[in-house]
Chains A and B, each alone.
Chain A
Amino acid sequence: MAEEKRLMKGNEAMGEAAVRAGCDAYFGYPITPQNELTAYMARHMLDKKRVFIQAESEVSAINMVYGAAATGARAMTSSSSPGISLKQEGISYACGADVPLVVINVARSGPGLGGISPAQGDYFQSTRGGGHGDYYHIVLAPKSVQEAADLTYEAFDLADQWRMPAMVLADGMIGQMMEGVVLPQPKDPATRIAKPWASGNRNGRKDVNHVDSTHLVPEEFEQTNIARYKRYDEMKRLLPRWEEQHVEDADLILTAYGTSARVSLGAMQMARKLGLKVGLWRPITLWPFPEKRLGELAGKRFLTVEMSMGQYVEDVKLYTHGKSEVSFYGRCGGMIPTEEDLLAEIRRILKK
């Protein structure tokens, strides 16, 4: 089948990618700046006679996702920062019960009600297990509408394969902008991973299935957690993804994810034209983080660019093990860095 390139808004591209990945059930609640995604799912899930519910809250929505996923279905919800805060309990439960599901965060500025403009202030919440207890979940950070669609599509497979939530951490810029996107082919349901642990469809199965995160015996619970973290270790070996340009000869490496990385790319190109040796390093999986690769670049000088007061920058410092000088350029409150401002910062740092 010929590939089709379409001009699509980021929110809608993520919705279409989810539909093509075989999303069986979508549960959402309105919140700016992701409402186009919920509306897209309403139309397309109902058209395809799949399950769509506008829930009474983000809390209810994540619990509907959890319930659907517990039966083995591919289930998704989407929201933006304050709504993602509401979902943390449900995400913790899903991580504790090893239930795969997909959550899309189209991040906006915070804390509190904040603003509706783009921001990257949810890095800690996403990568440090924003809810209670010891856990991590997959976090994928797209930088474009194309990548947002690709990562949303892949999130369902990754979640199923590793039995955990997979979060797509976009921001209001990516959600709202329109770009050309080649959409993935609809996934053949026969290629889905089997879920013998799911509740329902017993069909003569002898043992009963309980999807449950309760563990009241400490000796056993400790072992459960240790086993889960061994799975995390395997994911850290196999899953990290990043993109880099001109890092080998760089005097300064810009490092950023998502929208900040796009702006950084533009600034890097402008700097290179001026003869400045600037590179770019962009993590795509925020968890599992590409620690090993960043560690190999330790010793280089970094400028971390973020739409926050400084969250991702802590990981840059952590994984360069004290061997790198790490500068920080942050905008927040919904402000977006510009290539010109970044270039000025680059020149200030390099004293050129």
Chain B
Amino acid sequence: MELLYGHPKSLKPIQTKYCPGCGHGVIHRLITEVIDEMGLQQKSVILNPVGCSIWASIYFDFDSVQVPHGRTPAGATAVKRMLPDHLVICYQGDGDLAAIGTAEAVHAANRGEKFTTIFVNNAIYGMTGGQMAPTTLVGQKATTAPYGRDPVEAGMGYPIRVLEMLATLGGTRYLARGAVNNAANTRKTKQYIKKAFEAQMRGEGSTMVEILSQCPTNWAMDPVDSVGWVESDMIPFYKLGVVKDELSGSNEESREAAK
């Protein structure tokens, strides 16, 4: 009997506080699988801000710095500048990155900072109980958009495609969007994470992997229905795949595919 798939070493073997079905759990596992494969547990630092990701430092078995809401890229900028040979992960949700922290995200990306951002996009605010996020879809209901997100009558704005926006910046090198709704997408997402981490360790940046994540609790669905909603509603709007690839190690084919 050969062990094929087991518990990553750099992920603590404890039950998480995340809701049943939540994408955070899968994403934590993908990150730690890559860290184990790259042998980086002793040299990894994660910055976890506010939102459901506040728990992240409990589960990753490596050093962390907890930062104020939205300031994760600023903290990560400094951590990576001080520890350039470490793997530095900036772990954010959609409020952290695309609302309160947009300035920090844009400018860290534009400076080409060498840490990797893992952007968990669940199109809602999780921890605080389901308010509208910058990535909430038009018509999607939230506690602060009880009749659905309405950009016209209620002036609630439109969902933001962060990667496409950041792709215009000179400092960005690798931007990819994955999802963890099914096994195939989960495996592709792991490859995006791996490519981003490898780029970071080669000294290239900035890199970001956005991951569409189901949020059963705040979407008021059970987990199986929630991954269905990722498939039916989120993926058509937030297209999966590599949005930008200007890494030195990438071949022409992958760069063309990104365009």
Contacts and interface: CB of A to CB of B under 8 A. Distances in A.
Contact flag (A, B; Cβ within 8 A): yes
A24 B66 contact: no
Interface in A39-89: 51, 53, 55-57, 59-61, 63-68, 70-73, 75, 89
Nearest to B12: A208
Interface in B52-90: 54, 57, 61-68, 71, 74-79, 81-83, 86
A68 B63 contact: no
A265 to B, nearest CB: 41
B82 A68 contact: yes
A211 B106 CA distance: 25
A200 B67 contact: no
B77 A200 contact: no
Interface residues of B, number: 30
B74 A97 contact: no
A214 B74 CA distance: 19
Contacts of A208: 61-64
Contacts of B239: none
Given A59-B71, A93-B68, A200 B82 contact: yes
A29 to B, nearest CB: 11
Interface residues of A, number: 39
Given A208-B61, A211-B65, A214-B66, A70 B75 contact: yes
Contact of B74 (A64, A72, A200, A210): A64
A204 interface: yes
A200 B78 contact: no
Nearest to A93: B68
B78 A67 contact: yes
A203 interface: yes
B79 A202 contact: no
Nearest to A199: B63
Interface in A182-226: 199-204, 208-214
Contacts of A57: 103
Given A71-B83, A90-B71, A214 B64 contact: no
18 contacts: A53-B77, A53-B81, A55-B107, A56-B107, A63-B71, A63-B104, A64-B78, A67-B47, A67-B65, A67-B76, A68-B81, A71-B45, A71-B82, A89-B68, A199-B65, A208-B64, A210-B64, A213-B66
Interface of B: 42-43, 45, 47, 54, 57, 61-68, 71, 74-79, 81-83, 86, 103-104, 106-107, 111
